Every structure is written in structure tokens, then in C-alpha cells.
Amino acid sequence: MLPSRRPRPRWPLPLAAVAVGAVAWWALADRPPASLAAVARGYSTLALRAADSDGSSQTGPLSSCADWRIFLTWDEGARGAGAEWTLHEGRQPGEGYSLRWVPSRLALHLVRGGERPVLLAALSLASPPREIQWRRRGARLVVEADAVPLLTVIDAEPPPAPSWWGFATTAPRDETEISLHLDRQLGEDPERLPLDDDPVRLRLALEPLQAAPPRRPWWVRLLSPGTVLDRPHQELRLATALVRRAMAAAAESGDQAHALGALGAARVFLSDPMATASPATATDRSRLRRWLTLAEIRLVAASGGLGEDELDALANDLRGSRLVALPAEAVDAERSAATRVADAVESLIADSRPEDLGLLLSLVDPLVERACRPPEEPAAMRELLRSTAPAAGANRPTHAALVAAVASTATPAAVWSRRSAWLAIAGRMLDRASSLAGDGLTDDQRGLLALTRHGINCLLGSDPAPTPGEAPAWLTVRWRALAGSDPQATAWPDLPLAGYPLGLAPAIARLQQLAATEPLAAVRWTARLNVADQATEPAPALRAVVQELPAAGQMLEADLLRALVALRLDALARLTSDPQVAKAAFDDAGRALSGLTGSRPSPWASTDPLAFALARLMLARLPDLVARTAQAPAVGAVGKGAILGEPASDLPAALAGYGELLSGKPQALRSIWAPLPADRALLTVLAMQEVTNGPKPDWTLLDLIPCRSLPTHFARPMSAAAAAGGPSGPVP
């Protein structure tokens, strides 16, 4: 009898099937969600959009996403990679971030769009890329070319999440493929967290994110594998939200205490040892700290003098005779602010990286704006010192010294010194930005950087650099005008559109305003008059330029130029004993005076403070002109008393608001910064000081404040002009 065969067990096969199914389910549950959202191929313009909420189609309602990756590839051997192209968020470039390839410089430009575009970074490459990977995760932007990491930028002012993405090229010759990948696993928006300025409550709000994640039991990890929250990214988003909140508070600068609290809260979080200490997180926090430094610089640059609480504390110290010297921020708040900003800028420059190009450039215009801002009147400090003046005692000399220290900060030399300090800081930022950009900028962008630096150098009194050769008109015209040379143009050419992401156009306009380069025609005439004044025989050369000016009464600057040239010719005539030369100078002065006091229904001398002051100055230096002026038919509209040298209280009605400026008193120098341009107001004050026999005018002050549209130094008496060495010649 054959032995019975032992039946095979039936459980291994079902068990194996269950095991395989469990592993497959676990792998399926643990895999990251599919991220490919769209693919497009084409030759010129491509557009992609985010899928609907379930990611199932491209026809549902629009959904924005700030966590995406874009792959841009060309076929092997394609030539399109060497043409200019732009990858961008939004339907059109400029709505969000843009990545632009500049073939002329073999460079990639990362630009943040919006109302004021910002060039965040510029990086030059060795050759055109064949594949580009560009990723955004909230505020972090990463660029790779041919699988090589090139750039990582943390932008503390990111635009909203996009719903569209696009590609455009200027040379549609080769087929291009663009693929969009979306990742919506971003977790809770940190903008909605209950943040507070108080460090204790802020820590309580951040502890759930800062604490180490609890280790889940093995059965929980088995049954619910999923993906672990991307904690470094969540921390970056929270830190960015704090920094953005602090920057917004600093930009408003209305409530300085609130802004300082927001800045302090952000800095506490960025330096908190409880936070994750991974290398990537530490690098991100270092980048965000540089944005905080930028916000602090903006806040200090926009701030004024001491607050009410600080003034009250100073008053108590003064009344109690406990103060022998005012703190620097009380004597000269603007100088103290410039010193603080200079220190912060140096630390920012020392820690800057190539991805900080946009951060540095964004500071240039605020610094130039602060330099151009009229100085704040230290009225609060003067009133404080007046109210705390001791009746008698040993503290009176100390109090008098404090009053003198505050008064010294309002002199033209002190104000211009502070302006120069702000301009010097802006120049340091430009130098570092140029160094970071290297060869990555276009010719127009490099020209804008050079033009801005040239304008700062001219205002700081440095010798102007020669005009660049083979440069576009927008550069050469402004370059010559800022240097005081003939711009050789009748209108300002527009700045290039490619330069707007640098944010330097407003700064250039402010520098032109500070150098008094308007109107452009007056800049041309002034440059030619300066050249004529340096001739061997200056009188004929000056008269030749005057002959080309518009007729009297047509243009204010032309009549002001005639008056200044007449004063110069009179000073030259006094150096000779030739009666013919003196008579010719007298006739020139008479014609110039007629242009100021007549030739119009409302003469210039009755409506413009400088025209009034120059008319008075000409009459004071040439008394024989009084008879001619008294017979002028239009002098009645001006007021004979005012023009003919009688008390200045008899001012024309249109000049009643300039009483202090035209008073000729020492305190008139405090009024030169507004509302008139400082160069014209200073000449007005000096002329009236000579006319009214007030304090001796310091004509050397004209060397402090540049003026490219009027040769203000022509008004100096010849002795003062000779002592000063005369004006420097223009730069070709």
C-alpha cells in the first residue's frame, strides 16, 4: 500500500498575497503625491496654469500655488538655448517672479515684478544652459542649470502665489518643452498665526512649531505612514512672515515704537536657540537677518528727531542741572542717524552675497532721498533749551554752550555735511552692488550704476570723470549735466526700460534735482558761460553767449543769467581803469536790470525772490542805475521803495511769504532749504545781506551747494572770487 501523500498547506499563498498587498498599500500611501501639473511644447510663447483643487484637469477654477518647480529643456543640439528668453509667473512677465536669460552677457537675471520691479540677482555663466530647473517654495527661490545649483534667494517681500506660468523667447527657432510641478503640502499659513510683539507671548505662539516632533508609535507609522511635515520650510515661512510684518511696520514709520517692537520680535525668533539648528535653516535665517537689517536702515533713515518721551527726560535733566552735555542724537539727530546707518551698511556689506544684489540696490533710493530731504528745523530742541534756561548760577555757561551746539547744526555747512554723509553711504552700497553683479548686468544696467555713482561723486565734490565714449544719449546727456558741462541736447532722453528693475531711476532724478540741472537749456548756457569766463579775454566771450539768450521777459533763467553776467562784467571792469570798459559794463547792467524789472506785465523782480535780490544787488553795486530804474515804466508794479533800496518791508505782494529769506538777517540762512531750491535761496540770502548792510555775506558758501543751471559764483565781488580761486573749468 502506497503511503498517503501529505496535503500541502493552503495558507502560504494567501499569506504571501496579503503581505504583498500590505507592502504595496504602504508604499502607495507613503509615496509623495504626484506633482506634475502641466506640460507644454512650442517655439515662442507658452502658457501653463494651475489645475483645479483636486488636480484633475486644466479646465476647473483657477488655483494659486507658491510651491512649484518648472523644468525648461531644449532638444539636443537646439540653438534656442542661446537666444533671449524669459520664464515668468503670471500671464505676462512682470506680474510675479521672472527668470530671464541675457545672451549678450551669458547671464541669468532673477526679477521680482510688480509696480516697482526689483532685480534680485544676476549671475553670469560660462555657456548657454540646455536645461533649467527653477523652484519656488514660498519665499525661497532656487535656480539650477544643467543639474548644477546656481542660486538660492530668500525674498522677504515675495509677490502673491501665481495661477499661471509662462515662457517667451525673442528667437522662436527651436522647440522648447516646459513642465510644471506643483506641491500643495504647505501646511498652515503662518500669516494667520496669533503673532504678538511681546517676546513671551510670541514664544508661546511659536512653541508648537519650534518643539521637536513627537515620535509616533510603530503601529501608527505603519497604519498611517504619510509624509512628515517639512519643518525647516514651515519655519522659514513663519520667519518670513515675521520679517515681512516687521518691514511693513518699518516702512510705515508712523509709530516708531510699533516698528521697533515688530523688528525686535522678528530678531528674537531668528536668533532663538529653540529653533531647528540644521545648516539649511541657519543659512536661511542669516539671509532673513540681512532683510531685517535693511528694514532697520529704512526705519532709521526715515526717522526724525527725538520723541516726546525723550524730550521730557532731557528737560528734567536740564532743570535738575544733571546734564552737562546733550547726547549726540539730541544735538544733531540727522548726523546721529547717518552714523547708525553707516555702521549698519558696513555690516550688511561685509555679510552680503551674490543673491543680495536686489537687497542692496533697494537701499540706494531711500538713502539718496534722505540726502535730498530738507533738514528738519530743530525747533523742539531750541524751545526745550529756552524753557529750561537757568535764571542764574553756575549752570548758565553750560546751558549757553548747549544752545550754541544746537544752533550750529542749522548752518549751511553743517546741513551739506550731513547730506554728503548720506550720499557717501549710498555710494558704498552702489560699489558693493556693482561688485556682486560682476559681468551679469547688461550694458544699460551697468550704465545706470555708473551714472548714479558719477552723480554722487559730483555732488561730493570729486573731480568728474570724463564722459564715456560710444555711450547712448540718455547716459551722456545726464553725465555732462551732472558734471557741469554742456549736455549738448535740448531735452532729456528717456532712461532705458531694461534698467527699471535696478530701481535707480528715482535716485538719478533726485541727484539731478540736488545738482539743479533744470531747465536743461539753462544748464547748456551756464556751461558755456563757465567756459567763456576761463578765456583769456572773458568779457567778449561772456557777451557772445549772452547774445544767444532768449529776449528779455521770455524766460526767467535767461534774465537771471543776464543779471549774473552783468555782475561779473562789472567786477572785471573794476580791475581796469579804462572808462570804455566801465561804460560797457554799466550798459550791460542796465539792460539786465531792465529784463528783471520790466518787459513783462508782472516783472520777474515782483514775483521771484532771486530776481528781486539780484535787482537790489545790482542797484547797490551800481548806484547810477537808480535813475534809469526810476524811469522804467514797469517799476511801479514792483514797488519803487523795494527796488530802489529803501526798507525791505515794502516787498511786492507776491513776495510777502519770503520775508525772512529777503530780510538779510543771519537767521535767513536757516530758510534756504525750502520751498526754493537751496542753490537759488542761498544766493538770494547772500545778495540781500550785502544790500541791507547786515552781517557780512560769506560768499564761499556758494562752493558748498552745486548749481548747474546758474553760474551763482558770478555774483561774488571780484575780491571774494579771486580769494576763492574762481570756478573750476568744466569737464569735456
3-state secondary structure 675-725: CCCHHHHHHHHHHHHHHCCCCCCCHHHHHCCCCCCCCHHHHCCHHHHHHHC
What is the arithmetic mean of pLDDT over 676-694?
A: 90
How far apart, in whole angstroms, are the C-alpha atoms of residue 718 and residue 726? 9
Indicate the average pLDDT of the chain. 77
Question: What kind of fold does domain 36-182 have according to CATH?
Answer: Jelly Rolls (2.60.120)
The single-letter code of the amino acid at 233 is H
- Helix-helix angle 279-302:231-252, to 10 degrees: 0
Q: How many helices (H) and strands (E) does the chain have?
A: 27, 12
Exposed / middle / buried, residue 229 (Cβ in 10 Å: 0-12, 13-18, 19+): middle
Looking at mean pLDDT, say which of 529-543, 569-583, 631-645, 715-729 comes out highest: 529-543
Which pLDDT tens digit goes with each residue over 137-150?
888 899 999 889 98
Exposed / middle / buried, residue 124 (Cβ in 10 Å: 0-12, 13-18, 19+): middle
Percent of the chain with pLDDT over 70: 69
pLDDT band, residue 59 (cuts 50/70/90): very low
pLDDT computed for residue 412 by the predictor: 86
Evaluate whether 433 touches 119 at the Cβ level (below 8 Å).
Answer: no
What is the arithmetic mean of pLDDT over 323-348?
A: 72
Instruction: Specify which residues 101 forms β-bridges with.
Output: 85, 108
How far apart, in whole angstroms, are the C-alpha atoms of residue 445 and residue 424? 21
- pLDDT of 205 > 60? The answer is no
Evaluate whether 123 touches 354 at the Cβ level (below 8 Å).
Answer: yes
Please give the grid coordinates belonging to residue 534: 576761463
The residues near 449 (Cβ < 8 Å, ≥ 6 apart) are 430, 433, 434, 437, 441, 502, 504
Helical H runs in 150-278? 199-210, 218-223, 231-252, 256-270
pLDDT computed for residue 254 by the predictor: 59
pLDDT computed for residue 28 by the predictor: 58
pLDDT computed for residue 400 by the predictor: 67
Looking at mean pLDDT, say which of 71-85, 279-293, 689-703 comes out highest: 689-703
Looking at mean pLDDT, say which of 76-85, 401-410, 494-503 comes out highest: 494-503
Which tops the pLDDT comparison, 6 or 620?
620
ω before 232 within 30° of 0 (cis)?
no
- pLDDT of 43 > 80? The answer is no
pLDDT computed for residue 469 by the predictor: 85
Element (H, E) at 87: strand 85-89
Q: What is the pTM of this model?
A: 0.83
pLDDT computed for residue 322 by the predictor: 55
pLDDT computed for residue 617 by the predictor: 92
Nearest to 341 by CA among 361, 363, 309, 319: 363
pLDDT band, residue 282 (cuts 50/70/90): confident
What is the arithmetic mean of pLDDT over 510-526?
A: 94
pLDDT computed for residue 640 by the predictor: 47
- pLDDT of 60 > 50? The answer is no
pLDDT computed for residue 78 by the predictor: 55
Which tops the pLDDT comparison, 592 or 207?
592
CA angle 106, 110, 111 (to 5 degrees): 130
How far apart, in whole angstroms, are the C-alpha atoms of residue 659 and residue 664? 9
pLDDT computed for residue 410 by the predictor: 73
Handedness of CA 239, 245, 251, 256 (dihedral sign): negative
Which tops the pLDDT comparison, 112 or 227?
112
Which pLDDT tens digit goes with each residue over 129-188?
888 999 988 888 999 998 899 888 888 888 888 888 989 887 766 778 888 888 755 444
Which tops the pLDDT comparison, 506 or 285?
506
Q: What DSSP state is assigned to residue 466?
A: P
Cα 87 to chain center, whole Å?
27
Which tops the pLDDT comparison, 19 or 595?
595
pLDDT band, residue 95 (cuts 50/70/90): confident
Q: What DSSP state is assigned to residue 608?
A: -
Nearest to 258 by CA among 315, 198, 308, 203: 198
Which tops the pLDDT comparison, 309 or 373?
373
pLDDT computed for residue 169 by the predictor: 84
DSSP letter string, 553-585: TS-HHHHHHHHHHHHHHHHHHTT---HHHHHHH
Name which of 423-437, 529-543, 640-654 the model is least confident about: 640-654
What is the arithmetic mean of pLDDT over 605-634?
A: 80
Evaluate whether 605 touches 615 at the Cβ level (below 8 Å).
Answer: yes
Q: In b/e form, how buried is each residue of 656-682, taking b as 16+ CB within 10 angstroms?
A: eebeebbbbbeebbbbbbeebbbbbbb
pLDDT computed for residue 425 by the predictor: 93
The single-letter code of the amino acid at 468 is P
The single-letter code of the amino acid at 279 is P
Which pLDDT tens digit goes with each residue over 221-262?
554 544 444 556 666 667 777 777 777 776 665 566 677 777
- The domain locations on the chain are 36-182, 516-724
What is the arithmetic mean of pLDDT over 94-118?
A: 89
pLDDT computed for residue 192 by the predictor: 42
Instruction: Specify which residues 134 forms β-bridges with.
Output: 70, 143
Evaluate whether 156 touches 244 at the Cβ level (below 8 Å).
Answer: yes
What is the arithmetic mean of pLDDT over 102-118?
A: 88
How far apart, in whole angstroms, are the C-alpha atoms of residue 131 and residue 80? 11
pLDDT computed for residue 58 by the predictor: 45
